Amino acid sequence: MRQSAWGPSLCLAALSAFAPLVAGGQSPVDALRCPALDPRGPAADPDLYCIELVHAPDFPGVSGYVELTPPPSPFGASVTAGGSHRFDLTLHAAGLPDPAALGDYRGYVAWAATPRLRPVVNLGPVANGRTALPPVDLDKFLVLVTAEAAPDGPAWDGRIVLRGISAGMRMEPEDLLAVTGMVGGGAPPPPARGWTRPPMHPSVAMMPGVGRLAPPVDPFLPSAVEPPPAARPREIVRLGDGGALDLEAGLVRRTIGGRTFTMYGFNGQYPGPLIQVPQGAAITVNVVNRLAVPTAVHWHGIRLENRFDGVPGLTQDPIAPGATFRYRIVFPDAGLYWYHPHHREDFQQDLGLYGNLRVDAPDPEYFGPANREQVLMLDDLLAGGTGLVPFGRDRATHALMGRFGNLLLVNGEPEYRLTVARGEVVRFFLTNVSNTRTFNVSFGGAAIKLVASDVGKFERQTWVDSVVIAPAERYIVEVRFDEPGETRLVNRVRAIDHVYGNYFPDEAALGAVTVTDAPAVPDHGASFRELRTHPDVASDIDRYRGNFDRPVDHRLLLTLELGALPDPLEPLLNLDRSFFNPVEWSGTMPRMNWVTTAGEVRWILRDLDTGLENGAIDWRFRRGDVVKIRLRNDRRAVHAMQHPVHIHGQRFLLLGRDGVPNDNLVWKDTVLLPAGSTADLLLELSNPGRWMLHCHIAEHLESGMKLVFDVAAGPPPGR
């Protein structure tokens, strides 16, 4: 076979041979090339999501490119259960000659292959013009177009005409090491200011030269003269209309994995109380601050009165130590919500100040039948050999990528356990309360039915292989456990070793579900297999469909500026710009990330129509307005990464991502935007007041990534 001439070393040979053709512009002037980025348009950045195809030397008149677009997904990122990003491919080709003129060939075929050419995937026949190809979920891959006698073969046997490489292939370890010097250097000195270094990821070597650095701020951890009380598991508090709850923020003692930490908790619980109320209720929550630092409580996702939104400096003053603030909360929407501080949440939330709110619809059939329900809060915690890794006292550390933890928790515990009968249907209410980590959760291969998200149900239920859930997002799923034995609840992602330019599987068990031999009573198998549609949701959204294709009203670019950083961070970051994973799934650069603070890192929301940034942006609306907003995540930022964008006090629809319309809508308050991607939102302005829009990576918020918009009372102009 002619393929045998292309051995496992094809990748390096291809890179050295192809690059001069691309750089030198040897293709014809009218060659097909990846489209230029339109910074105001809906498409993803072609630098990450388009593959330039280079012609073989014998075919100078042939050209083409391959577009990568995410397949339809109910989540902010399209990935497999194993965490590999999925892309639909569209090949554009021009100048392909009659294959018979090249020899005994009948047509052209596109192929995808890893750098080692194992596996090789036949993507199907192609021709001049536009050809839609099957999805690919390879981390690094090549695309080849060959002339073939047998188009349906398992591997190519003909002449290679076009070839190109995905963006992930640009990661090259020798370049990194050449700039920063040798990896060695001996043991680093003790960190300055009394810091404790975060542990390295067990599968990744430390970035060269980073081990001697420490954050330029003083460390902070909570302390107590007397040992605080041991945290209790959370309690369920059911309140009706007019109900009241006292919620006290104070110190607790937590023992996790055999280590004891001083942390925070609401009412001595970890997580805080699960507050369950009927839709339409109004309750009062008296928050008492027993901490040594000011705080406030934000009621995430709830369309409540503005003065109770819990944002210091905007809707209230911080609650001083020993002081009390009374919140009045109304619940217009059924769904799953949560509460957390909005004052230095980088450490207050991470130390345990969070809890869920469940708002029940009056219709008992709002969800389908289930044998039981479980409310799970997903989190992570960063601990070293001697305890928790401290936080920055005066400003946030981990400002570049956010604070990834190395202990993954469910409801505050490292090993979630549940025992069910064979055939039970369990409805899981999932909330991601971590500072930065996006989870990709699955249940050991058990079927997962996606039911609802932030502010209610989807238009229709769908099957999913895993649940991609960004910080502050919520998803409600149903899982049926058919097989006796143990089913693992697991987070499976693909992490990147930036030192050596490799992907690797990064899997962590969050817990397990033990399935007994006894059959479930009652058996909800028949209803579980049915995918329900929700006409009530579609009817609610129908009022807004006339706005879906309207022009965009506001455009935001999500980007980054850096101040002075110590060596060797700047050269490392400049090299890292060659490629960014659409989602930074794992903290594989913990010490490089740790030393960056909100003093050197400025995350930005930039209005592309006015040039204004963050707090200078001046958006003014009236209650009843419907506004279309386009978010673009700047791939060309010094360190581009995903952003979960949250809008306070309102709800919105995700209309589409990267130019692909969303055909299964749900009301949201938080959306995940991968690096280089765009998203179009339709924002319904229902609440008057001054509201915040921000990234929900806590350290990005602390580094400036927020704006405030005004919604005036009364009907909108012209209505």
CATH code for the domain of 617: 2.60.40.420
Neighbours of 246 (CB within 10 A): 11
How many angstroms separate the CA atoms of 668 and 678, rounded? 16
What is the model's pLDDT at position 179? Answer: 53
Q: Looking at the domain assignment, is residue 97 inside a domain?
A: yes
CB 185 within 8 Å of CB 161: no
CA 684 from chain centre, in angstroms, equals 23
What is the model's pLDDT at position 212? Answer: 86
What is the model's pLDDT at position 24? Answer: 34
Total of domains in the chain: 2
How many angstroms separate the CA atoms of 36 and 684, rounded? 32
Three-state SS letters, 263-315: EEEECCECCCCEEEEECCCEEEEEEEECCCCCECEEEECCCCCHHHCCCECCC
For the segment 262-289, the average pLDDT, to the nearest whole number, is 98
Q: Looking at the domain assignment, is residue 429 inside a domain?
A: no
Q: Looking at the domain assignment, is residue 269 inside a domain?
A: no
Share of the chain above pLDDT 70, in %: 93
Domain coverage including residue 38: 2-170
- At 428-440, the pLDDT tens digits run 999 999 999 999 9
What is the model's pLDDT at position 177? Answer: 53
Residue type, 401: M
What is the model's pLDDT at position 577? Answer: 61
pTM of the complete model: 0.94
Q: Looking at the domain assignment, is residue 34 inside a domain?
A: yes
What is the model's pLDDT at position 16? Answer: 38
Q: Looking at the domain assignment, is residue 84 inside a domain?
A: yes
pLDDT grade for 185, boundaries at 50, 70 and 90: low
Q: Which of 170, 199, 234 is the last residue of a domain?
A: 170
- At 492-537, the pLDDT tens digits run 999 998 888 889 999 999 999 999 999 999 999 999 999 999 999 9
Q: Which of 170, 194, 220 is the last residue of a domain?
A: 170
Q: Looking at the domain assignment, is residue 356 inside a domain?
A: no
| Residues in CB range of 330: below 8 A, 6 or more apart | 280, 281, 282, 302, 303, 304, 305
**pLDDT at residue 563 is higher than 80:** yes
Closest CA to 632 of 574, 552, 546: 552
How many angstroms separate the CA atoms of 17 and 507, rounded? 36
Structure tokens given for 216: 């330029």
How many angstroms separate the CA atoms of 669 and 241, rounded? 24
Q: Looking at the domain assignment, is residue 32 inside a domain?
A: yes
Q: Which of 131, 151, 170 is the last residue of a domain?
A: 170
How many angstroms separate the CA atoms of 625 and 647, rounded? 15
Domain CATH code at residue 25: 2.60.40.10
Q: Looking at the domain assignment, is residue 98 inside a domain?
A: yes
